[in-house]
Amino acid sequence: MTQHNRRTQLTPDVYDDGYLRVEHKNYYVACDGRAIKLPRTEFLIFSRLARTPERIVTAADLWEYAWGKDKPLNSESLHVIIYRLRSKLAPHQVEIETMVNVGYRLVVKGTTDPAR
C-alpha cells in the first residue's frame, strides 16, 4: 500500500496518514506518535503543505496562508522558515521539496514503527 493510499482525512481540520498527524485548528503536529513543536508561523506554513501533501503549493499561496493578503511576499523570509522546518522535520523522515520557480511540496517518507 502506498503512502498516498494510506492517507485519511478525518475532518477538514485533521490530517492523519498513520504516521503523520496534523491537527490544523489545534496547532498540533506528530510523527509516529511523537509531538513536534513548531512556532505559529512555521506551523501555518507546514499546515498549508499538509492540506495537500505531495502536491505543489506556490510560495505566494504559502505566504498568504501565513501572513494574509495585506503583506507582500518576502521570498527570503519564506526560505528561512522552510529551512527551519526542514531541520525540524528531517529526523522524522518528512521532507519539504523545492520545485524551483514553482513552489514547495510535502513528502512523507516515514512509516509507523510496528515495534512501538
Considering the domain boundaries, does residue 113 fall inside one? no
Considering the domain boundaries, does residue 35 fall inside one? yes
Considering the domain boundaries, does residue 17 fall inside one? yes
At residue 113, the pLDDT reads 52
At residue 38, the pLDDT reads 96
pLDDT in tens, the chain (116 residues): 344 434 444 457 899 999 999 999 999 999 999 999 999 999 999 999 999 988 999 999 999 999 999 999 999 999 999 999 999 999 999 999 999 989 999 999 876 554 44
Structural domain range at position 25: 3-108
Domain count, the chain: 1
> Which CATH number is 41's domain given?
1.10.10.10
pTM (global) more than 0.75: yes
Considering the domain boundaries, does residue 28 fall inside one? yes
Using alpha carbons, select from 86, 85, 112, 107 the residue that is nearest to residue 31: 112
Considering the domain boundaries, does residue 114 fall inside one? no
Considering the domain boundaries, does residue 12 fall inside one? yes
Considering the domain boundaries, does residue 115 fall inside one? no
At residue 105, the pLDDT reads 96
Considering the domain boundaries, does residue 29 fall inside one? yes
